[in-house]
Amino acid sequence: MSGNVNGHIELSATDRLIISRLQGDVPIAPDPYQLIADDLGISLEHLLERLAWFKDQGILKRLAAIPRHQNIGFTANAMVVWNVPDEDAARVGKLFAAEAYVSHCYQRSALPGFPYSVYTMIHARSEAECIALAQGLSQLTGVFDYQLLFSVKEFKKSSMRYY
Amino acid sequence: MAAGGNGAYSDTLEMDATDRELLNLLQDGLPLCERPFLALAEQLGISEREAVDRAQAMRQAGVIRRFGGVFNSRSLGFSTTLCAAAVPLANVDEAADIISSYDCVTHNYLRSNAYNLWFTVIAASAAALEGTIREMEQRIGVSIYTLPSAQLFKVDARFAL
Q: Give A88→chain B minimum CA distance, Å.
A: 12
- pLDDT (0 to 100) of residue B129: 96
Q: Give A80→chain B minimum CA distance, Å.
A: 11
pLDDT along chain A (163 residues), means of 10: 55 94 93 97 97 95 89 87 96 95 94 96 94 97 97 90 84
Residues of B in contact with A65 (CB under 8 A): 23, 26-27, 55, 58-59, 64, 66-67
Dist. CA B102–CA B129, nearest whole Å? 12
Dist. CA A81–CA A102, nearest whole Å? 12
**Smallest CA–CA distance from B123 into chain A, residue:** A162
Looking at every residue in chain B, the average pLDDT score rounds to 90
Tell me the CA distances in angstroms from A124 to A45, A74, B93, B159, one per residue in order.
42, 5, 26, 10
Contact A9 B37 (CB under 8 A): no
Dist. CA A51–CA A13, nearest whole Å? 14
Considering only CB atoms, B152 lies closest to which of A29, A106, A160, namely A106
Q: How far is CA A140 from the centre of its chain?
A: 24
What distance separates the 2 farthest-apart alpha carbons in chain A? 57
- pLDDT (0 to 100) of residue B7: 37
- pLDDT (0 to 100) of residue B12: 60
- pLDDT (0 to 100) of residue A8: 64
Dist. CA B67–CA B30, nearest whole Å? 10
- The SS3 call for residue B51 is helix
B107 touches chain A (CB under 8 A): yes
B49 touches chain A (CB under 8 A): yes
Q: How many residues does chain A have?
A: 163
Among the listed ranges A24-28, A80-84, B29-33, B43-47, which one has the minimum average pLDDT value? Answer: A24-28
Residues of A in contact with B129 (CB under 8 A): none
Residue B155 in contact with residue B74, Cβ under 8 Å?
A: no
- pLDDT (0 to 100) of residue A7: 53
Dist. CA B58–CA B53, nearest whole Å? 9
| Alpha carbons within 13 A on the beta-carbon side of A84 | 27
Dist. CA A62–CA B31, nearest whole Å? 9
CB atoms within 10 A of CB A112: 9
Considering only CB atoms, A30 lies closest to which of B37, B64, B113, namely B37
Mutate to test the interface with B, among A22, A51, A63 (most CBs of B within 10 A): A63
- pLDDT (0 to 100) of residue B11: 52
- pLDDT (0 to 100) of residue B156: 83
Confidence of residue B35 (pLDDT cuts 50, 70, 90): very high
